[in-house]
Chain A
């Protein structure tokens, strides 16, 4: 029987070599491109009519837009509004990558730590650069919690720095672990269905339930990624 981890294998679709670097177009690239195209199509086609009283499709597009807008306003504050396009793109990309990955037979891009870590690293570097640009050297005072006695600084500063550097790792690991665990679990139960023959109906019922849970996880993880980006942005803009 196929291993439950086989679904995560990356296959080359079109080999490309650029100066000795393997930049092949793989199934991962394909599904990432698909997610981008799907998001664009969803939003552009949904807003094609831009009716005053929105139809169903336009409503969905507007609700998502509103949702991310509200999230930024509530969690990052008003001065974070210039970052709306970034957070919205991030949210939509992860959401669509998660959802497309749930289509049976599709490849879940977000179940690869390379992908999630790349996203998290962009967030981390971006947020740090924003903080440095806004506050300059004062940014480094961030690593000393307010009202700390000075003799505690040698202990607390390294801890705060590690805690800060752990952010992208946490962000990447959470999305990756959730997606990978979910997809592996689905595959394991799918294997049971075949093994048990007629009695496979029981694991089949479990799969249905798990699938709903995975839909929830797909939405939730996109949300969590976006909201943590907002919270980090808030920190970068306001420093305590």
Chain B
């Protein structure tokens, strides 16, 4: 179906490499951590879900501990606040693009490298 001569392998190779370089430079240039193109709605969804899920987990833990230890309702109250704090922390991490690890500052790159090899 194709009348043209197929391009030589060297040519293809060079073109593939050019594309790869372009992609690489773009990936390094544009800062993306969570790599998520954000629309307004997507952002709202994301923040809402982060907040709600941490809060739900906190309240859930509190409720279970209360049932187990019979300290109703005090642990649930405590864990409600801890859960909200965790939710805010998760939102902060998601929005500042430092990844899901603990802490609230970006990890120093060097530590990461030495750890990884």
Q: How far in angstroms is the closest Cβ of chain A from B87?
A: 7
Are A238 and B116 touching (Cβ within 8 A)?
A: yes
The distance from the CB of A52 to the nearest CB of chain B, in whole angstroms, is: 8
At the interface, yes or no: B82 with Cβ under 8 Å from chain A?
yes
Q: How far is the CB of A84 from chain B (nearest CB, A)?
A: 17
Minimum CB–CB distance for B16 against chain A, Å:
11
Q: In whole Å, how far is B35's beta carbon from the nearest beta carbon of chain A?
A: 5
* A7 CB within 8 Å of chain B: no
Chain B residue nearest to A52 (CB atoms) is B9
Q: Which residues of B lie under 8 Å from residue A53 when comparing CB positions?
A: 6, 12
Chain B contact patch, size range: 35 or more
CB distance from B77 to the nearest CB of A (A): 14
Cα distance A102–B15 in the bound complex, in angstroms: 36
Q: Are B100 and A167 in contact (CB under 8 A)?
A: yes
Chain A 109-123 interface 0/1 with B at a Cβ cutoff of 8 Å (1 = within)? 000000000000000
- Complex interface: chain B residues within 8 A of A52 (CB): 9
The answer to the question of B43 belonging to the interface, with a C-beta cut-off of 8 Å to chain A, is no
Partner of B100, one of A173, A220, A235, A238: A235
Query: Is the CB of B101 closer than 8 A to any CB of chain A?
Result: yes
- Residues on A with C-beta less than 8 A from B90 are 163, 166, 170
Q: Are A178 and B100 in contact (CB under 8 A)?
A: no
The listed residue with most A CB atoms (<10 A of its CB), out of B27, B57, B116, is B57
Mask for B69-93, Cβ within 8 A of A = 1, else 0? 0000000000100110111011000
Residue of A nearest to B116 (CB): A77
State whether the Cβ of B67 lies closer than 8 Å to any Cβ in chain A.
no
Residues from chain B with a CB closer than 8 A to the CB of A237 are: 116
B88 to chain A, nearest CB (A): 9
A178→B41 CA distance, assembly (Å): 10
A38 interface residue per 8 A CB criterion: no
**B111–A240 CB distance below 8 A:** yes
Can you give 28 A-B contacts (C-beta < 8 A)? Answer: A142-B101, A142-B102, A143-B102, A146-B103, A159-B85, A159-B86, A160-B102, A162-B54, A162-B79, A162-B82, A162-B86, A163-B86, A163-B102, A164-B102, A166-B53, A166-B54, A170-B49, A170-B53, A173-B52, A174-B45, A174-B46, A220-B36, A220-B42, A223-B35, A227-B35, A231-B34, A231-B99, A231-B100
Which residues of chain B have a CB within 8 Å of any CB of chain A?
6, 9, 12, 27, 34-37, 42, 45-46, 49-50, 52-54, 56-58, 61, 79, 82-83, 85-87, 89-90, 99-104, 107, 111-112, 115-116
